Amino acid sequence: MKKKIAILGSTGSIGKSLIEIIKKDKEKYEIVLLSANKNLSELIKQAKYFKVKNLIITNKNQYDLLKKKKFNIKIYNNFNNLNNIFKYKLDYIMSAISGLDGLNPTFESIKHTKKIAIANKESIICAWNILESELKKHNTKFVPVDSEHFSIWSALKKQDCSQEIDKIFITASGGPFYKLPLSKFPKIKIKDAIRHPNWNMGKKISVDSSTMMNKVFEIIEAKNIFNLSFDKLEILIHPVSYLHAIIKFKNGLSNMIIHDTDMKIPIFNSIFENKEYFINKKINLQKLNQLKLEKPNIKKFPLIKILKKIPKKISLYETVIVSTNDTLVDLFLKNKIKFNSIPKIFNKVINYKKLKKYRYFRPKNINQIIKLNNFIQLKINSLYK
Ligand code: NDP
Ligand code: MG
């Protein structure tokens, strides 16, 4: 029988990689749903190729355009009707929408699938307690897709590892500005910040890699997924990105996880679970001669300091952090603020008394997170019209 799957964010970098993987085994899958925000042409191309019967396109104009085309496909504008689309539990859903816009779709999908692969790190950072109880409630399996977390998850074969782990080092390439002198930071342009040396990713996450906010997010993500405290997690710079994580166990042994810088490896395994053969180049062990592990430079990448201010247990402050950063990256990509202003404005915003109080509130439901996100986006954007 064909595996029934859905891809949320199918037109993005992660979504397209999954599509490519599935193309090779087309007859084994039925794609029940694909979704995008505004990339209509790519979505239609994918839908035709896989004969998909349901599409969600969230941008109103693109939705209206798609409605006018006389395809024999059901078209939706939001994720509120998943009950109509999924009459039974699917085998696999990939959650790969970018930003906090991916939270509601991720949450709503959990009840409709046997397994959910979550690339959308914002959901894991801001709402892990809510997602975790939803996963338990619906007996849905979870796989992290972020490469470092997928590596740790597959090495440990479980999530709660607080009893055995002494430390986990999460590696970072250092991004495009790892070697750039601080004095040249004021001149950084959009094109420089989205040009990652090792990975080919969406624009937003590429900018986060260049400020190293991406690693801040990954430490919080790992803390949540693996039930660890912050003192058990550390960032290590490793410019060639071959080594994804080092797990140091309490018994004295350490485990290093190595794979090519290809997101298709975690994506492929999130669907096949080590049961199929991933055909890629031979692993280049020579690269291990260039391990070069170093601590990150806090002066160049001051956003890392925020890790010291985050409460031990999940709180709404993580939403403040994600949302503020999201808005500032968006303003940078629209050329409204400079690269150097991102950490400066970020610090100002997250230190407002009114926002700092969210450190004391545990997220109760996703609406609370979405509301807070909208409020912060609105406030910051109103200053940079
Ligand atoms: P992209 O920007 O390449 O793609 C984002 C996808 O989400 C697109 O399909 C986009 O549609 C869709 N989308 C964006 N906004 C909305 C919205 N408001 N409503 C519905 N759909 C929307 O992102 P990536 O693929 O790079 O990243 C996806 C997620 O995976 C992010 O959370 C990222 O942090 C995480 N991740 C990505 C990695 C990577 O290598 N790319 C690595 C690890 C994690 P459209 O194309 O129409 O705009
Ligand atoms: Mg990563």
What's the pLDDT tens digit per position in 329-362?
Answer: 999 999 999 999 999 999 999 999 999 999 999 9
In terms of pLDDT, which residue wins out, 163 or 152? 152
pLDDT at 162 over 90: no
**Contact at 8 Å (CB) between 226 and 164?**
no
Is the minimum distance from the CB of 228 to ligand 1 under 6 angstroms? no
The structure tokens listed for 144 are: 């992290």
Count of domains observed in the chain = 3
Is the minimum distance from the CB of 123 to ligand 1 under 6 angstroms? no
Domain with 342 in it: what CATH number? Answer: 1.10.1740.10
Probe target for ligand 1 pocket from 37, 55, 65, 269, with the most ligand atoms within 8 Å of CB: 37
Backbone angles phi, psi at 131, to 5 degrees: -65, -40
- CA–CA separation, 124 and 144 (whole Å): 9
Same domain, 173 and 224: yes
- CA–CA separation, 328 and 339 (whole Å): 9
Domain with 123 in it: what CATH number? Answer: 3.40.50.720
Question: How far from each other are the two terminal CA atoms of the chain, in whole angstroms?
Answer: 53
| pLDDT mean over 101-122 | 98
**Contact at 8 Å (CB) between 365 and 130?**
yes
Among the listed residues 350, 269, 264, 359, the one whose alpha carbon sits nearest the alpha carbon of residue 303: 350
Is the minimum distance from the CB of 15 to ligand 1 under 6 angstroms? yes
pLDDT value, residue 369: 98
Final residue belonging to a domain, choices 308, 323, 339: 308
Same domain, 231 and 327: no
* Cα 253 to averaged position of ligand 1 atoms, centre (Å): 37
pTM of this prediction exceeds 0.75: yes
Same domain, 152 and 251: yes
pLDDT at 282 over 80: no
pLDDT value, residue 242: 86
Tokens 């897709």 -> residue: 145
Same domain, 135 and 152: no
pLDDT at 283 over 80: no
Residue having the nearest C-alpha atom to atom 31 of ligand 1:
98
Residue 163 structural domain: 146-308
- CA–CA separation, 18 and 94 (whole Å): 9
By three-state DSSP, how is residue 74 classified? strand
**Predicted confidence (pLDDT) per residue in 214-266, tens digit:** 999 999 999 999 999 999 999 999 988 889 999 999 999 999 998 888 899 99
Same domain, 289 and 320: no
- CA–CA separation, 239 and 226 (whole Å): 25
Among the listed residues 70, 40, 68, the one whose alpha carbon sits nearest the alpha carbon of residue 55: 40
Contacts of residue 275, Cβ cutoff 8 Å, sequence gap at least 6: none
Atom of ligand 1 nearest to the CA of 15: 25
**Contact at 8 Å (CB) between 225 and 149?**
yes
Smallest-distance ligand from the CA of 171: 2
Among the listed residues 346, 356, 258, the one whose alpha carbon sits nearest the alpha carbon of residue 302: 346
pLDDT at 25 over 90: no
Same domain, 179 and 294: yes
Smallest-distance ligand from the CA of 118: 1
**Contact at 8 Å (CB) between 145 and 268?**
no
Same domain, 74 and 99: yes
pLDDT value, residue 95: 98
Same domain, 195 and 283: yes
Same domain, 82 and 151: no
Probe target for ligand 1 pocket from 16, 57, 97, with the most ligand atoms within 8 Å of CB: 97
Same domain, 10 and 102: yes
The structure tokens listed for 160 are: 């709660």
Question: Rounded to the nearest 10 degrees, what angle do helices 203-211 and 213-225 cross at?
Answer: 100
pLDDT value, residue 5: 97
Is the minimum distance from the CB of 121 to ligand 1 under 6 angstroms? yes
pLDDT at 288 over 90: no
Quick one: 227 exposed, middle or buried, by C-beta within 10 A (0-12, 13-18, 19+)? middle
Percent of the chain with pLDDT over 90: 83
The structure tokens listed for 368 are: 């609370």
Quick one: 215 exposed, middle or buried, by C-beta within 10 A (0-12, 13-18, 19+)? buried
Final residue belonging to a domain, choices 96, 116, 145: 145
Final residue belonging to a domain, choices 145, 179, 201: 145
Same domain, 326 and 297: no
Same domain, 155 and 298: yes
pLDDT at 107 over 90: yes
Is the minimum distance from the CB of 202 to ligand 1 under 6 angstroms? yes
Residues 147/220/129/318 CA torsion (nearest 10 deg): -130
In terms of pLDDT, which residue wins out, 280 or 292? 292
Is the minimum distance from the CB of 11 to ligand 1 under 6 angstroms? yes
